[in-house]
Amino acid sequence: MRYYVKYTRGIIAIGKTRVNLDSGKLKDSIISQIDQNRHQLSEIARNIHDNPELGFQEVKASTWLTRFLEENGFSVKRGIYRLPTAFRASYGKGSPVVAFIAEYDALPGVGHACGHNISGTISAGAAVAARLVADQYPGCITVIGTPAEELYGGKAIMAKRGAFTDLDAALMVHCGTGNTATTHALACQNLYVEFFGQSAHAAARPERGINALEAIIQSYNAINSLRQHIRSSARIHGIITDGGQAANIVPDHSAGEFIVRAAENDYLEVVKHKVLDCFKGAATATGARLKYKWDTARYAPMRNNMVLARLFADNMKSLGRPIAITGSNSFGSTDMGNVSQIVPSIHATVAVAPRGTLLHSPEFAAAVTSEEAVDGLCDAAKTLAMTAVDLIVSPEKMTEVQKEFRGGE
Ligand SMILES: [Zn+2]
Ligand SMILES: [Zn+2]
């Protein structure tokens, strides 16, 4: 029996009995809508793949995604927070505001080897299907288009400018070789260093030279010594980008780029301080002058909301796709971490490539055009949209999500 009465968020009260309206039917409709959109979603992902654009240059990718959303009734604001390729697309009214986060930037040299052509399209496809729930219940479906994940931490910049504060939940699915509902990601910040010395003839007047290459090599070795005395979850790695011009000239300039990561925000600061001391010590030892700059983008660790993760996993399982709550003990970083500090979030993973295929490799870039990748795209979009149904139809689920976020569990 159906109760055609005025209701709020899917719950109607009949005497003392609360009856959930049929979210199962909504989910069925979402599944068939995404199946109908499969070809179009696959084409968008393929076009983005075949036209790889680096961070903050994703003009085509953001145009294709926003056009798809606009054609399906979303109101779209482009160029938000002073970033020309960022966008926000919204559908529905009131709260909760459930956001799907879209990435669409490529990598230098290897194109879409991180699969953002798929993950961005997953969020757009999920949002269009999730209109069905926003048509019937109070709540808003939003896609936040976040550029430059790979090179500049676009979400970190947007977070500083207030982009995520009005959301109730933020969800996205990244590409991978397995299905997981959470991601382990470290806090992370890049360090750019230069040493300035004095050039001199390396054989005739070595005593007049100040060797900037020695300074950076000593720093590198000091970091190697430091590494055995920091927590095992922390990471320090780097490259030397300038080591001199000619073997018979004492190098008067050297440069390098290093990345420091840690599982906790506080500990990242501790390790950053220790790493900087390695460079300062080498400057003292060699007499070279140190110049350094921490990147303005600082990636925060990923804070997975386990209520969201369990809902996501249950929905994906219902499609017949096996999924684990936690994945491999991977130690990357993502600017979704910054979002997860502000709003309850998940950064799930869907399998689009065979096990063993490495992210950021040409093999991964090739894999994300396969039919298996399109299957992953559609299943992930269905799962996100079904999770939005759970959150919008059942206010108590959203309360649980918020409670965990505020530390109530
Ligand atoms: Zn990547
Ligand atoms: Zn990525």
Which tokens sit at 234? 């922390």
pLDDT at position 8 is 41
Q: Which of 334, 283, 286 is nearest to 148 (CA)?
A: 334
Which residues make up the environment of ion ligand 1, defined by Cβ < 5 Å? 114
pLDDT in the model for residue 14: 40
Would you state the pLDDT for residue 408? 60
pTM here?
Answer: 0.88
Nearest to 48 by CA among 99, 137, 97, 114: 114
Å from CA of 140 to ligand 1 middle: 29
Average pLDDT over residues 64-69: 98
Over the stretch 235-270, which tens digit does the pLDDT of each residue have? 999 999 999 999 999 999 999 999 999 999 999 999
Residue 243 burial by Cβ neighbours in a 10 Å radius (0-12, 13-18, 19+)? middle
Question: What's the gap in Å between 57 CA and the centre of ligand 1?
Answer: 16
Q: What proportions of the chain, in percent to the nearest 5, are helix, strand and coil? A: 40, 25, 35
Percentage of the chain exceeding pLDDT 70 = 94
CA distance linking residue 240 with residue 221, whole number of Å: 12
Q: How far apart are CA 68 and CA 124, in angstroms?
A: 8
Where are the alpha helices (H) located in 355-394, listed in sequence order? 362-367, 371-393
Dump pLDDT digits (tens) for 130-188.
Answer: 999 999 999 999 999 999 999 899 999 999 999 999 999 999 999 999 999 999 999 99
Write out pLDDT tens, residues 275-320: 999 999 999 999 999 999 999 889 999 999 999 999 999 999 999 9
Nearest ligand, CA 110: 1
Q: How far is the CA of 359 from the centre of ligand 2 (A)?
A: 8
Nearest listed ligand to the Cα of residue 107? 1
DSSP structure class, residue 288: P
Residues with CB under 5 A from ligand 2 (ion): 114
Residue 21 binned pLDDT confidence (cut-offs 50, 70, 90):
low
* Residue-level pLDDT at 98: 98
User: CB of 129 within 8 A of CB of 33?
Assistant: yes
pLDDT attached to residue 5: 33
Give the Å distance between the CA of 353 and the centre of ligand 1.
15
User: Does 4 score more than 90 pLDDT?
Assistant: no
Q: How far is the CA of 147 from the centre of ligand 1 (A)?
A: 12
Distance in Å, CA 201 to ligand 2 centroid: 47
| Residue 199's pLDDT band (cuts 50, 70, 90) | very high
Tokens 């960022």 label which residue? 86
